[in-house]
Amino acid sequence: MLSIKNLHAEIDGKPILKGLDLEIKAGEVHAIMGPNGAGKSTLSYVLSGRDGYTVTEGQVLLNGQDVLSMKPEERAAAGVFLAFQYPVEIPGVTNMNFLKTALNSIRKARGESELDAMQMLKLLRAKAKLLGMSEEMLKRAVNVGFSGGEKKRNDILQMAVLEPKLCVLDETDSGLDIDALKVVAEGVNTLRAADRSMLVITHYQRLLDYIKPDYVHVLAYGRIQRSGGPELALELEAKGYAAFAPEAA
């Protein structure tokens, strides 16, 4: 599904990722853990195509397609979904309208027919119900006046509607209390599927109690320093990141 080879990326000329490799197969959930400044958010922005992050070397393929040459919206159409660490507020634009516009744009890019208002309403209601969200939330402006938890749930709703191939969850746990975290994790788990891969980026192990990964990677100093099963996360929790400096790896 996702193949990252020797990825080097920099911000303002400062190298952040220095030769990152990662392979994710369809249906797998991978977790990337790492200390602050390891390049976790850089990875999520490089994958989704944010401006200002320059790739100097390496390649990223999604089902064989070169992701790095695509615009952000093309990546979205190709199936890349980034759940933002801090979802953005867009005053005056309702969730309903936003999702409708987004989904139809993606369907169009994929050569599928656009959904009309009735079909869309039906779909959104079904998805909201699936995630246990109120319909009232659909009528509100995107993330405006939402609590931290509501914003994250709103992102998960978008994920459910847009049905991406690769979900990148960037520090989804930040700013959430344990109850909100459970609700959001439940949403993510509902959306796990055989043809959908997930990349969970987090600083803390606690998120992985609720979203169980198949593989765990330690990202530090711009590279994957170690990979392993879920037990690696527990080891990290016990030893701290210091043990994963390049010399120690």
Partner 1 sequence: MNALTKERASAIAEQSYKYGFVTDIESEVAPAGLSEDTIRFISAKKEEPSWLLEWRLKAFHHWQKMAEPDWAMVKYPPIDYQAASYYAAPKQKNKPKSLDEVDPELLRTYEKLGIPLREQEVLAGVTPRIAVDAVFDSVSVATTYKKTLEDAGIIFCPISEAVKTHPELVQRYLGSVVPVTDNYFAALNSAVFTDGSFVYIPKGVRCPMELSTYFRINAENTGQFERTLIIADDAAYVSYLEGCTAPKRDENQLHAAVVELVAHDDAQIKYSTVQNWYPGDKDGKGGIYNFVTKRGACRGKRSKISWTQVETGSAITWKYPSCVLQGDDSVGEFYSVAITNNYQQADTGTKMIHIGKNTRSTIIAKGISAGRAQSTYRGLVRMLRTAKGARNRTQCDSLLIGDQCGAHTVPYIESRQPSARVEHEATTSKVSEDQLFYCQQRGLNAEEAMALIVNGFCKEVLAELPMEFAVEAQKLVGISLEGSVG
Instruction: Considering only residues 26 through 55, tell me which ones interact with partner 1, judged by CB under 8 A.
Output: 48-52
Q: Does 199 bind partner 1 (CB under 8 A)?
A: no
Phi and psi of 60, rounded to 5°?
A: -130, 120
Binding flags for partner 1, 119-158, as an x/- string (CB under 8 A):
----------------------x----------------x
Our CB check for partner 1 shows the closer of 154 and 202 to be: 154
Determine which helix (DSSP H) or strand (DSSP E) holds 159, and give its type and residue range. helix 148-162
- Secondary structure (H, E, C), 81-133: EEECCCCCCEEEEEHHHHHHHHHHHHHHHCCCCCCCHHHHHHHHHHHHHHCCC
86 CB neighbour count, 10 Å cutoff:
13
Number of residues that bind partner 1 (CB under 8 A): 30
How far is residue 2's CA from residue 32's CA, in Å, rounded to a whole number? 14
Our CB check for partner 1 shows the closer of 15 and 72 to be: 72
Q: Does 77 bind partner 1 (CB under 8 A)?
A: yes
Q: Which is nearest to 83 in space by CA: 163, 2, 211, 172?
A: 172
Our CB check for partner 1 shows the closer of 33 and 120 to be: 120
Strands 166-170 vs 80-83: parallel, antiparallel or unpaired:
parallel
Please identify which residue in 68, 90, 123, 243 interacts with partner 1, judged by CB under 8 A.
Answer: 90
Determine which helix (DSSP H) or strand (DSSP E) holds 224, and give its type and residue range. strand 223-228
**Rounded least distance, CB 99 to partner 1, Å:** 8
Q: Does 71 bind partner 1 (CB under 8 A)?
A: yes
Residues near partner 1, by CB under 8 A = 48-52, 71-73, 75-77, 82, 84, 87-88, 90-93, 97-98, 101-103, 105-106, 109, 141, 158, 162
